[in-house]
């Protein structure tokens, strides 16, 4: 069944791939942007196959009350992807938490007032599942209970936003159901020229020598194209419900560096110094107090830890499969070169 779908934050890294996938399936899409007249990324969306006939871009803003009301009217499904993403901020509440929480509430309220919406698909995050990897195998039942305004504030914002969404469902009992997608580190080729934060943190910083050496960091990696597919299937599968962990394989920084070197990228400023031993990790954790607050808390909570997770639910209920991490990384690097993000 074809649907009319509202996608918030349409020019975003994940949102633009969702729109591409929706248009390819024949759905009609309404995307929200801060300014539909601003060139650049918006032009890329309008160039997507099917966009001329089935894509409308409208102006909305997370921080403005009732900003999504007009956009939600007549839509069958709302995909709420818009949310601030930053590790280091000067005002965690004002820059991260309030926009994420209030924006989520505004979108859900607009969907409820529209009267036509049957499902909302929320782009949440692994940040709402765990603050730091530990020995547990994570499932959809897990929640982040450690983050705060001072400790991993981005994680705190995502946790508070998803909790606000489920609280809205319980308190308001709107005429639609809610499905949450919880991706881990999302990287991959971009529809637009903008550089998303995860691609920068994982690959640009590695290739440009930002890291002092090979750290004991391991990421659960998921391709943005697989994340987009998960969102669309969460909309299309009638029995979809609750939360879905969305992640492929876990890869360490050493594995990523080795892959890049063996794939012809050794000429870049990849880290070579081994700083992933137990002693080096302990020293770096202590030295992390000299970093900006967001970076410091991330390093202290993630160094030396390996994420473990169970993706049975998303694979069996939504039929989502995940690309190998190596394929995603190499596709992403080629895409970063295409957009000029790696320089000459």
Q: How many residues in total does the chain contain?
A: 344
Task: State the Cα–Cα distance between residues 217 and 235, nearest whole angstrom.
Answer: 34
Residue 55 φ then ψ, to 5°:
-125, 125
Q: Counting Cβ atoms within 10 Å, is residue 94 exposed (0-12), middle (13-18) or buried (19+)?
A: exposed
Helix, strand, coil shares, percent, the chain, to 5? 45, 15, 40
| Contact (CB, 8 A) for 268 and 229 | no
CA dihedral sign of residues 155, 156, 158, 162 = positive
State yes or no: is 158 an active-site residue.
yes
Question: Nearest-CA neighbor of 246 among 310, 182, 198?
Answer: 182
Task: State the Cα–Cα distance between residues 293 and 210, nearest whole angstrom.
Answer: 18
Residue 272 φ then ψ, to 5°:
-125, -30
| Contact (CB, 8 A) for 198 and 126 | no
Question: Nearest-CA neighbor of 55 among 84, 91, 99, 24?
Answer: 24
Task: State the Cα–Cα distance between residues 36 and 60, nearest whole angstrom.
Answer: 9
DSSP helix/strand/coil, 137: coil
Point out the catalytic residue in the list 37, 38, 158, 261: 158
Rg (the chain; Cα; Å): 20
- With tokens 């391709």, the residue in question is 223
Residue 166 Rama label (left phi>0; alpha psi -120 to 50; beta): alpha
| Contact (CB, 8 A) for 226 and 50 | no
- List, by residue number, the catalytic residues: 158
């Amino acid at each position: 069944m074809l649907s009319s779908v509202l996608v918030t934050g349409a020019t975003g890294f994940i949102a633009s791939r969702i729109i591409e996938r929706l248009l390819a399936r024949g759905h009609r899409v309404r995307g929200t942007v801060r300014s539909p007249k601003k060139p650049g990324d918006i032009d890329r969306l309008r160039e997507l196959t099917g966009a001329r006939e089935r894509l409308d871009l409208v102006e909305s803003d997370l921080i403005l009350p009732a900003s999504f009301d007009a956009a939600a009217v007549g839509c069958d499904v709302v995909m709420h992807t818009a949310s601030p993403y930053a590790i280091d901020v000067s005002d965690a509440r004002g820059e991260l938490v309030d926009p994420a929480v209030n924006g989520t509430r505004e979108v859900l309220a607009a969907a409820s007032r529209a009267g036509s919406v049957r499902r909302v698909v929320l782009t949440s995050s692994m940040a709402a599942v765990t603050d730091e990897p530990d020995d547990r195998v994570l499932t959809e039942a897990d929640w982040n209970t450690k983050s705060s305004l001072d400790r991993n504030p981005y994680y705190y914002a995502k946790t508070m936003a998803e909790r606000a969404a489920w609280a809205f469902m319980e308190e308001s009992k709107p005429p639609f159901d809610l499905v949450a997608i919880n991706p881990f580190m999302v990287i991959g080729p971009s529809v637009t020229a903008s550089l998303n934060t995860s691609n920068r943190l994982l690959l640009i910083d590695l290739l440009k020598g930002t890291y002092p050496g090979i750290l004991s960091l391991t990421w659960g990696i998921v391709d943005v194209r697989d994340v987009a597919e998960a969102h669309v299937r969460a909309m299309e599968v009638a029995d979809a419900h609750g939360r879905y962990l969305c992640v492929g394989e876990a890869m360490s920084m050493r594995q990523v560096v080795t892959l890049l070197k063996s794939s012809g990228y050794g000429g870049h400023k990849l880290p070579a110094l081994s700083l992933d031993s137990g002693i080096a990790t302990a020293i770096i954790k202590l030295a992390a107090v000299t970093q900006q607050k967001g970076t410091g808390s991330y390093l202290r909570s993630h160094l030396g830890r390996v994420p473990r997770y169970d993706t049975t639910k998303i694979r069996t209920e939504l039929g989502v499969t995940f690309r190998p991490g190596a394929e995603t990384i190499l596709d992403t690097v080629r895409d970063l070169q295409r957009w000029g993000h790696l320089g000459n």
